[in-house]
Chain A
Amino acid sequence: MAFDLSAIGSQFFVGLSRSMILFIVTAGLSFVLGVLRVPNIAHGSLYMIGAFSAFSVTKMVPGATGFWLALILAPLVVAAISFIAERALFCHLYQREHLMLLLFTFALSLILGDLVKITWGAEYKSIMAPKIFDGSVRIFGASIPKYNFFLLIVGPLVAIGLWLLTNKTKLGKIARAAAVDREMVGAVGVNVSWVFAFAFVFGCFMAGLGGALMAPTISITLGMDHNIIIEGFLIVTIGGLGNMWGALVGSLIFGLSQAFGVLFWPQFAIVFPYTAVVIVLLLRPRGILKSVW
């Protein structure tokens, strides 16, 4: 089968936009892993809550305004939930071993899943992107849906914001330092407990943002938490545990290998991203970029 360049181009941009969502979600996951050393399985549940909250906001405020408002409010709802979880539960558990934390966050994901079912019910939900995102745009002859194009703009903006936050603000620098050596950060007189709270809430905010951004393209349903968290951990692992730029590299590998797999070998598209993961881990068992663990 012959492929023209525009098909390859569209597939590239669509894959890239998928990578952007994955990056936003996994950057938060990786940040929490790096700073707190918590492998947060409930991250996927927070992503799901982000999508459901976006649905509620668009129900209350109809039209395009509702959608933009949802992009701001839904991550804040998630941040609020994670703040309560951190202060009430997580802050007592940081010293526990990883297996305990893994089990604990898994339990939390089940609880959050049930809370979503109680709050929003078990039916599928759906929200609409504003009218301006209807249809496709053409870039270099390749046609891509406007909403995916929008994601291509949002992704780099978020990446720049993350870079500024972690490299140019004092809080960000402290958080990075805490990721490397938490005792030392405490020893120089920083209240590590609040740095951790900030890092956790910030990471979860990213999950909520990812959920809200993803919401218009999918059916919002129970179970979307498990889908994303498996991909999320794979991406974080191939990128380098705890390294946010690793999350970006991992997301690009995952998103693009899926998009091109679908184009070139559609019957077996499912295995492509996972094959890419295996290859990366065979060549670089500790991930592509430097792991903080």
Chain B
Amino acid sequence: MRKQRGMKRWVWMTGTALLGYLFAMMLVLGPADALARNIKVGIVDTYSGPPAVYGNDALNGFKLALEEINKQGVLGGKIEFTTRDEKFKVDVALAMAKELVMRENVDLLVGTINSGASLAISDGVAKAEKMPFIVWTAKDEKITGELGHRYVFSTAENTAMAGKAGGVGLAKKPYKKYWIAGDDYAYGHAIADAAWRNLKALKPDVEKIGESWWKIGEPDLVPYLTSISAAKPDAVIFCTGGASMTNCLKALKSTGFAAKIPSWIHTAIDHAVLKPLGAEAPEGVMGTIQYLFYYPETPENKAFVQAFQKAYGNPPGFPAFNAYITAQLIAAAYKKAGTIDKEKFIDAIEGLKVKGPTGSTVEMRACDHQAVYPMYFGTTKKLPQYDFVVATDIMTLTGDQVMPTCEEILKIRKK
């Protein structure tokens, strides 16, 4: 009996002391915490299956940028993030975005590589919940074009920019008779339309002598290439990506097509595409991309590549570039806004300019929320110092050259 009473008293005293301590801590730390809390970024992207290569590259770029940013902090706190694997599925992506907003209370969303998922989050979460959402890898031009709105942004290059870059680059070449070929789905046709429209506008005497479209995932492109070469075009615009890109490059090499007829394929000069092919990659293929780790050889780019290589063991790809500028824009916008308010963040990021990892300026265009940066147009070649094929004869196309104008965007949105 005595023992029990003693025990009760002990529990009572400890409890009071603990409560008192907690109360005191709340008084001391509470207000300070409310002023300088961390900014929470929710990332939805693909971290399993083949597209995981791009998802992880983007995440690494984002982490590297945050290391630098968090040394100084933003608004007295840090930028932290939490990731969700959407498995390249639209419904999963949408559910995870909602979960990040409702349960994790994130301040903004970023992601993903899947165009369908990006559009779904843009409409179902960003627009509906008034939650800022920055798309960093998906390339559908509708994201900041036709279906754009106040709460969605893109730091990714899109099909309209890619096609325009191809058109502008090809207009500087002497070819007149073109053939267009590609994967028979939205991405293929979007690139083809944009490239041809822009090429025709800049150089009206070009002529399209034919088109061929193969089903997505078509394993054997040799019959297509032999029939195209029979038509004797001056150059070919190929609109393909993913596994078909590898098939296409292999067939271009094995048939000797690449040696005879010049061709342009968007992202053909991407290191992620060329490296697995090694010496098998064809030479003389033209391609476009927004980031190359070996060009431009600016001190900024060299430092960026070195830091990335040291941290993750391989050079950065274009998703790392996109994600790095995303982090820079986020940090700069919060600093400019001076608060973690969503509407003020959007006002601040509109028209914001930062110096990207290559040293060139990146602007978040106010009219359509699309990041503006230069693109590179190069031709594949095997150089002795690399055991893979790289881009050479690189032309830099400025942001203004590759972007659809604000008037064009607003016209599409009104429709």
Contact = CB atoms under 8 A, between A and B. Distances in A.
A69 B230 CA distance: 35
B231 interface: yes
Given A135-B256, A219-B250, A214 B219 contact: yes
Interface in B219-266: 219-220, 222-224, 226-228, 230-231, 243, 246-247, 250-251, 254-256
B211 interface: yes
Interface in B163-222: 181, 184, 209-215, 217-220, 222
Given A266-B212, A267-B213, A15 B223 contact: yes
A266 B227 contact: yes
A122 B214 contact: no
Given A126-B280, A217-B254, A266-B212, A4 B230 contact: yes
A7 B225 CA distance: 11
A120 to B, nearest CB: 12
A173 to B, nearest CB: 35
Given A4-B230, A18-B223, A269 B212 contact: yes
A143 B227 CA distance: 11
B246 A124 contact: yes
Nearest to B273: A124
28 contacts: A11-B223, A11-B230, A14-B222, A18-B220, A18-B223, A123-B50, A125-B276, A126-B246, A126-B250, A129-B254, A133-B254, A134-B254, A214-B220, A216-B254, A217-B254, A223-B243, A224-B217, A224-B219, A227-B219, A259-B223, A262-B227, A263-B230, A266-B210, A266-B211, A267-B211, A270-B184, A270-B213, A270-B214
A251 interface: no
B53 interface: yes
Contacts of A125: 276
Given A126-B277, A269-B214, A145 B222 contact: yes
Contact of B227 (A7, A122, A147): A7
Interface string B48-60: 1110110000000
Nearest to B246: A219
B50 A122 contact: yes
Nearest to A1: B231
A258 interface: yes
Contact of B226 (A129, A144, A147, A270): A144
Nearest to B181: A266
B224 A148 contact: no
Interface string A222-259: 11100110000000000000000000000000000011
A21 B255 CA distance: 17
Interface of A: 1, 3-4, 6-7, 10-11, 14-15, 17-18, 21, 122-126, 128-129, 133-136, 143-145, 147-148, 214, 216-219, 221-224, 227-228, 258-259, 262-263, 266-267, 269-270
Contacts of A124: 50, 243, 246, 276
A219 B280 contact: no
The CB with the most chain B CB atoms within 10 A, among A4, A10, A216, is that of A10
Nearest to B222: A14
Contacts of A4: 230
B276 A262 contact: no
Contacts of A221: 50, 243
B243 A219 contact: yes
A6 B89 CA distance: 47
A212 to B, nearest CB: 14
Contacts of A136: 255-256
A217 B230 contact: no
A230 to B, nearest CB: 11
A266 B224 contact: yes
Contacts of B222: 14, 17-18, 145, 148, 217
Given A126-B277, A221-B243, 9 more contacts: A1-B209, A124-B246, A217-B250, A218-B247, A218-B250, A221-B50, A222-B50, A224-B219, A267-B212
A218 B219 contact: yes
Given A126-B276, A219-B246, A227 B226 contact: no
Nearest to A263: B227
A264 to B, nearest CB: 8
Interface string B39-50: 000000000111
Nearest to B212: A266
Interface in B74-116: none
A129 B251 CA distance: 12
B243 A122 contact: no
Contacts of A133: 254
Given A122-B50, A262-B212, A266-B212, A11 B226 contact: yes
Contact of A223 (B212, B213, B217, B228): B217
Given A14-B223, A263-B227, A145 B255 contact: yes
A263 to B, nearest CB: 4
B216 to A, nearest CB: 10
A262 B223 contact: yes
Contacts of B279: 128
Contacts of B228: 266
A7 B255 CA distance: 14
B127 to A, nearest CB: 33
A201 B214 CA distance: 34
B49 A122 contact: yes
